[in-house]
Amino acid sequence: MLNYEYPPLGGGGSNASKYILNEFAEKNLEVDLVTSSPSNTFETEIIGDTVNIFKLPIGKKEIHYWTQREILAYSLKANTFIKSLIKEDEYDVCHAFFGIPCGAIAYLFRKKMPYIVSLRGSDVPGFNNRFSLQYVFLKPIIKKVWSEAGAVIANSKGLKELALKTSPNQEISVIYNGIDTSEFKPDFNKTDNSHHLRIVCVSRLIKRKGIKYLIEAIGKLKDKSIKLNLVGEGNQEEELKKLSKNLGISNMIEFKGYIGHEKITEIYKNCDIFILPSMNEGMSNALLEAMASGLPIIVTATGGTSELLERNGVVVPIGDSSAIAQAISELMDNPEKRRRMGIKSREIAERMEWKAVGDAYFRLYRNAINDRRNKI
């Protein structure tokens, strides 16, 4: 398995690979993950008896922000490291998270083993404006990597549709992210003696996540008793803090920084609404965590996010702080509606366990292996 990010590095794709590996460890599948080290040293980790994680030092600077130099460093080191691995073991299949760079690395070893590619978001042309120029040059490589893969999987229908704009004839399956509903649980009997509406947003603090519009929305509700908990780190943190100060709402917003899974469950439990104002999204793990925790949600109509709406929240236009403010006000004034939406969120989450995700990928592995054998 290849994924250039793995906790604590990265976001949704990082967490997804971790949970899938946990499922594979339960099945005693033998898996070697080649990923990046958060430090400047080579690290290893073992899950169960059969899953090995190799973390290559690439000179990582920031946990949630990737430079082209770092991605190139991972690509070169992973290529060399895989060559040493295949001298020792014979692999049946390679699972690459992200078409670029991991899918391209897997493509180089296609004669040794079949590979499948999981599309996660920014690896799909058109997903992230930050990479507009890179997409122009990478598109031919991306199409070639997809065409040679044993399977290409998107984590939402929206991402699949975007990918088909690059390669209309490509066969693409959809496997949603999963959620551990035993780890993330609701507390429908919670009370708040402070009488604040408690909002939580768990996200990288980067431009694509649209946190600016959420803060602006809070600025339009200065007269309301609201507390916004922003969980996450990113290169926009100082800019967003400055915006909060300029709007005079610093006392309404708490920047909590990075919080591990062992503590974040309590934050969800102690909040009333989850908001994700993203400009573009594949399938947010944080959103699924919030839903499993029984929270009503306010989200933008993008990617897999809006696919999770089923009478459990409100969809607002992208980049519209006024719409976010209006949605907050409506839910703030109707606690019974919040409760109904929260119960529905939990019901949806219970249909999306990680075990089902792991089983779906395992079937794809088998299909890719059998297809390769049939061609020999």
Quick: pLDDT tens for 310-337. Answer: 899 999 999 999 999 999 999 999 999 9
Domains within the chain, CATH numbers bracketed:
12-178+353-375 (3.40.50.2000), 197-349 (3.40.50.2000)
Edge-to-edge, what's the strand order for the sheet holding 51-56? 31-36, 51-56, 43-47
Helix axes 157-166, 132-148, angle to 10 degrees: 90
Exposure on the CB side of residue 63, measured as CA atoms within 13 A = 15
Q: Is the peptide bond before 38 cis (omega within 30 degrees of 0)?
A: no
Q: How crowded is residue 64: how many other Cβ atoms within 10 Å of its Cβ?
A: 19
Per-residue pLDDT tens digits of the chain, which is 376 residues long: 999 999 989 878 898 999 999 999 999 999 999 999 998 899 999 999 999 999 999 999 887 778 889 999 999 999 999 999 999 999 999 999 999 999 999 999 999 999 999 999 889 998 877 777 888 889 999 999 999 999 999 998 889 999 999 999 999 999 998 998 988 999 887 766 667 899 999 998 999 899 999 999 999 999 999 999 999 998 899 999 999 999 999 999 999 998 877 789 999 999 999 999 998 877 788 999 999 999 999 999 886 777 888 899 999 999 999 999 999 999 999 999 999 999 999 999 998 889 999 999 999 999 999 988 887 6
Each residue of 159-198: pLDDT tens digit? 999 999 999 999 999 999 899 898 899 988 776 666 789 9
Q: Strand 43-47 vs strand 51-56: parallel, antiparallel, or unpaired?
A: antiparallel
This model's pTM is above 0.75:
yes
Q: Are 121 and 127 in contact (CB under 8 A)?
A: yes
Q: How far apart are CA 10 and CA 65, in angstroms?
A: 8
Q: ∠142-37-82 over CA atoms, to 5°?
A: 55
